[in-house]
Amino acid sequence: MSDENTLLALEGIKALFAIEEIKKLRARYFRCVDTKDWEGFAAVFAPDAVFDISDDVPGCILTGGDAIARAAGEPLTGCVSVHHGHGHEIDLTSETTATGICAMEDILRWSPDSERPNMTLHGYGHYVDSYEKIDGRWLIKTMKLKRLRVDIGTAG
Amino acid sequence: MSDENTLLALEGIKALFAIEEIKKLRARYFRCVDTKDWEGFAAVFAPDAVFDISDDVPGCILTGGDAIARAAGEPLTGCVSVHHGHGHEIDLTSETTATGICAMEDILRWSPDSERPNMTLHGYGHYVDSYEKIDGRWLIKTMKLKRLRVDIGTAG
Amino acid sequence: MSDENTLLALEGIKALFAIEEIKKLRARYFRCVDTKDWEGFAAVFAPDAVFDISDDVPGCILTGGDAIARAAGEPLTGCVSVHHGHGHEIDLTSETTATGICAMEDILRWSPDSERPNMTLHGYGHYVDSYEKIDGRWLIKTMKLKRLRVDIGTAG
The Cα–Cα gap between B95 and C79 comes to 41
CB atoms within 10 A of CB A153: 12
Using CB atoms, which residue from C9, C19, C89 is nearest to A13? C9
Spell out which residues of chain A touch residue B86, defining contact as CB-CB under 8 Å.
86-87
Neighbours of chain C (3+ CB pairs under 8 A): A, B
A:B CB pairs within 8 Å:
64
Distance from CA of C35 to the nearest CA of B (A): 8
Task: List all residues 6 or more positions away from B103 whose beta carbon is below 8 Å from its beta carbon.
Answer: B85, B86, B87, B124, B125, B126, C27, C30, C31, C34, C84
The Cα of A73 is separated from the nearest Cα of chain C by a number of Å equal to 16
Per-residue pLDDT for C1 more than 60?
no
**pLDDT score at B156:** 61
Question: A87, B82: Cβ pair inside 8 Å?
Answer: no
CB A72 within 8 A of CB A33: yes
pLDDT at B30: 98
List pLDDT tens digits, range A52-107: 999 999 999 999 999 999 999 999 999 999 999 999 999 999 999 999 999 999 99
- List, run by run, the mean pLDDT of 10-residue segments along chain B (156 residues): 80 97 98 97 96 93 93 93 98 98 98 96 98 98 98 87
| Confidence grade of residue A1 (pLDDT, cut at 50, 70, 90) | very low
Q: Tell me the chain C residues in contact with residue A23 when contact means C-beta distances shorter than 8 Å.
A: 88
CA atoms in the 13 A half-sphere facing the CB of C149 = 16
Select from A1, A30, A31 the residue whose CB has the most chain C CBs within 10 Å, as the one to mutate to test that interface: A31
CA of A104: how far to CAs of A86, A144, B95, in Å? 7, 12, 32
Cα–Cα distances in Å, from A80 out to A37, A110, A120? 13, 6, 10
Task: Give residue ranges of B with CB < 8 Å to any A CB.
Answer: 2-3, 6-7, 9-10, 13, 16-17, 20, 23-24, 26-28, 30-31, 34-35, 80-82, 84-86, 107, 109
With contact defined as 3+ CB pairs under 8 Å, the chains touching A are B, C
pTM of the model: 0.96
> Which tens digits make up the pLDDT trace of C84-117?
999 999 999 999 999 999 999 999 999 999 999 9
In this predicted complex, what is the ipTM? 0.95
Q: Report the C-alpha gap between C130 and A32 in whole angstroms.
A: 20
- A96 CA: distance to closest CA in chain C (Å): 19
Task: Tell which of C1, C4, C6, C91 to mutate to test the A interface (max A CBs under 10 Å).
Answer: C6
Using one digit for the tens of pLDDT, what is the confidence trace for C2-42?
Answer: 778 888 889 999 999 999 999 999 999 999 999 999 999 99
Q: Which of A3, A4, A6, A102 to mutate to test the interface with B (most CBs of B within 10 A)?
A: A6
Comparing CB atoms, the residue among C2, C13, C16 nearest residue A3 is C2
Sheet strands side by side (includes C61-63): C61-63, C45-52, C137-154, C119-134, C97-110, C79-92
